[in-house]
Chain A
């Protein structure tokens, strides 16, 4: 059985190198592939099938291990950078304090002895707070890809920041509604809680209107963020700053 050509093997390896994080590839992809090609030429010269198999085993183990470590390292650097940005942002501090205080307050205010639907409301606050915090963190990670280099772009950057926080709160409200109503429905307590049929209808109608408005707001915020994202100047080599 003849071996595949050297160029084809290098192409296969280059495809595998695509598994590295983008920041790594942007800097070292060519160098990694070049080193592989040189090693491959050395092993091809040996013309030993065993050496060839050992070479591929070594390269694949190296690739799998280093890809995993590179992804871990990249995630760690991004999280550290995001945490640093969050600490420096007073907006985040306010948002975080709100997200912590509201569920605690809701829990203590609404919990009753029988612990039925009020507990669900408190739970929904907790869930929505976590969801908002996570969405905010993800948004900040995305935001970290933009850097401010001129005074004018600070304004746009601040807009992006505020919009992300607003989006977080909108999602928090949306989640609160969704989780609370789903929990109530599950327990069949909607009519009990909201009285007669007319009240129940008004409740569902207003819930639908609120959801529609929130979804619309979410889309509007996304559009705003996209606009702001285009305005902000992308960093040429963001991995250097992360």
Chain B
């Protein structure tokens, strides 16, 4: 399957995955990215710059979660948009295809289901 959309960066992809279960605030995403083992940890600057990019691409939007959580009003909550879900699915397909082709070479073991 050929995808014409440009591939997302690793940080952006990890952020989208982090938001797939529902809205979260930036610091929670930062902690998840530190522990997911899929890449380097992101500092606050890189995190919010990536968030800014995703917001400008309309893949995520800021949500009103902050109003329901009074723990820290500076927290910014984000959630995936429909376009973000599509982009995540497309990127996952692309990754699966890459993994399948890599497995075909025999250099790496095929992905386990």
Contacts and interface: CB of A to CB of B under 8 A. Distances in A.
Contact of B74 (A24, A34, A58, A77): A34
Interface stretch (A65-73, A99-107, A178-186): A65-73
A130 interface: no
Interface stretch (A25-33, A169-177, A194-202): A25-33
A32 B44 contact: yes
B69 interface: no
A66 B43 contact: yes
A192 interface: no
Q: Which of A31, A32, A77 has the most CB of B within 10 A?
A: A31
Contacts of A96: none
B100 interface: no
Interface string B80-92: 0000000000000
A58 B47 CA distance: 13
B74 A30 contact: yes
Which of the listed residues B26, B30, B48 has the most CB atoms from chain A within 10 Å of its own CB?
Answer: B48
Prevailing SS type, chain A contact patch: helix
A28 B74 contact: no
B44 A62 contact: yes
Tell me the interface secondary structure of chain B in the complex. helix
A61 B43 CA distance: 9
Contacts of B61: none
B46 A62 contact: yes
Interface residues of A, number: 26
B42 interface: yes
Contact of B53 (A34, A67, A73): A73
A35 interface: yes
A59 interface: yes
Contact of B51 (A28, A33, A36, A77): A28
Contacts of B75: 31, 34
Nearest to B56: A77
Interface string A123-166: 00000000000000000000000000000000000000000000
A38 interface: yes
Rank and list the top 9 A-B pairs by shortest CB-CB distance, nearest first.
A62-B43, A66-B45, A35-B44, A28-B48, A34-B74, A32-B44, A30-B74, A31-B76, A66-B49
Interface of B: 26-27, 30, 41-49, 51-53, 56, 72, 74-76
10 contacts: A27-B52, A31-B48, A31-B76, A32-B44, A35-B26, A35-B30, A38-B27, A61-B43, A70-B45, A77-B56
Given A30-B74, A34-B72, A36-B44, 9 more contacts: A24-B48, A28-B48, A28-B52, A32-B44, A34-B75, A62-B45, A66-B48, A69-B49, A70-B52
